[in-house]
Amino acid sequence: MRLDKFLSETGTLSRSESGRAVRAGKVLVNGRAAKSPSEQVDPERDVISYGGETIRYRRFTYILLNKPDGYVSATEDGREKTVLELLPEKLQKMSLFPCGRLDKHTLGLMLLTNDGQLAHDLLSPRHHVAKKYRFSVKFPLTAEEINQLEKGTVLDDGYETKPSVIEADPDGRGGVITLIEGKYHQIKRMMESVHNQITALERITFGPLSLDESLARGEWRYLTEEEESALHTYQTHR
């Protein structure tokens, strides 16, 4: 890869700034001043620094979003606002997509990435990635209904859900449910199977990731290095 491409892709410098920085001797490749912005570098092996700081190469981008109400989990939609529209323009050009869907009115943790392999593995039914959702329901859940939902309940299309865990609030009107699968509108349909109705739903964890309480609805941030490596370890050790 060209050095100036590396510098712009990592968000360090634009192509024209790269030229100036290289000529000023501010860009080092493996400790030596780079000769030209067009020189070839290997982002995986070469140590490249600018102004004394080593630049971390990100092959893929991972973003944690606190999804607000009213946005659909898609990259494009003719009618609805998409979660991608919550990101700055620069990020909208990076082929990011939501790793798993949340309904238009579901809130909370959403991972956006352009790492297709990781997303594929995390979403694969074989991997049973755990997801926790905070929910509220219209009618109080009884102990019997909770038991049915936890053991496996039959949805409107005849599918029997895998075991889940419910930590119900004392009044039964909500709680936290942990799922290890992700069927279409699963929690809504699970509650319908016990003649109840979801009134609010928020995802609070996805595998090793937790919703960052410091992000307001609609806000996002990059995953930290620890979160990124936790995701990769989670994926490979299953």
Binding track over 120-159 against ligand URA, x by CB under 6 A: ----------------------------------------
Residue 188 interacts with ligand URA (CB under 6 A): yes or no: yes
Residue 185 interacts with ligand URA (CB under 6 A): yes or no: yes
Does the active-site annotation cover 42? no
Among 65, 102, 119, 122, binds ligand URA (CB under 6 A): 102
- Amino acid, single-letter form, for residue 49: S
Q: How many helices and strands, by DSSP H and E, does the chain display?
A: 7, 15
Residue closer to ligand URA by CB (options 39, 103) is 103
Q: How far is the CB of 102 from ligand URA (least distance, A)?
A: 4
Residue 106 interacts with ligand URA (CB under 6 A): yes or no: yes
Residue 113 interacts with ligand URA (CB under 6 A): yes or no: no
Among the listed residues 46, 77, 103, 212, the single catalytic one is: 103
Q: How far apart are CA 212 and CA 218, in angstroms?
A: 12
Residue closer to ligand URA by CB (options 13, 201) is 201
Total Cβ atoms within 10 A of residue 27? 28
Q: How far apart are CA 2 and CA 164, in angstroms?
A: 50
Q: How far is the CB of 205 from ligand URA (least distance, A)?
A: 13
Residue 3 interacts with ligand URA (CB under 6 A): yes or no: no
Residue 201 interacts with ligand URA (CB under 6 A): yes or no: yes
HSE (side-chain half, CA atoms, 13 Å) at 203: 30
Q: Work out the end-to-end distance of the chain between its first and last CA atoms, rounded to an integer number of angstroms.
A: 34
* Alpha helices (H) in the chain, listed in sequence order: 3-9, 15-23, 89-92, 116-123, 143-151, 186-193, 225-236
Q: Active-site residue numbers?
A: 103
